[in-house]
Structures are given as C-alpha cells and as structure tokens.
Amino acid sequence: MLPGEVSSFTVPVERLGAFPAVNKKLRDYMMDKKGNAVKHCCGLMGLQQQGGLGYPDLDELMMKPEPLEFIFELVR
C-alpha cells in the first residue's frame, strides 16, 4: 500500500470465533485496565461469572455473530 491508499476486507463469521475475546484484551490494554484476576476453569465460565466481556458491542457480537469489515488507511 502507498500513503493515502485505503484497503478493505470482510471476514466471514466462521473466521471470527476468537475476535471478541482478543478485541476485549486489546481494548483493556489500551485503556490500561487491570483485570480482577478472577480464576475460573475456562474462558466461557469466566464470561458467565463476569456477565460478559464488559463491552456491550462485543457481547452482542458473541451472541449474534456477523461478518466484519476491516478498513485500513495508510497515513504515512
């Protein structure tokens, strides 16, 4: 890509299984959130105990998966 170019691609639902949990971790990191260090037996049990991912849009994506479009613009 060259500066100023925009690229877009759509990811089908079957490729997005881990996206909500990974995106939650990235958001938490960017906001410098420290987890409560809740111990649980697996990721899904942790979601149940905590009432979701903590982000309404990611919780909705977990409940009703849909293809996502990613758009990138090279600025420099």
pTM over 0.75? The answer is no
Own/partner pairs, 8-14, CB within 8 angstroms, 24+ separation: 8/69, 8/70, 8/71, 8/72, 9/69, 9/70, 10/67, 10/68, 10/69, 10/70, 11/67, 11/68, 11/69, 11/70, 12/67, 13/65, 13/66, 13/67
Q: pLDDT per residue over 16-49, tens digit each?
A: 999 998 998 899 899 887 765 555 556 565 565 6
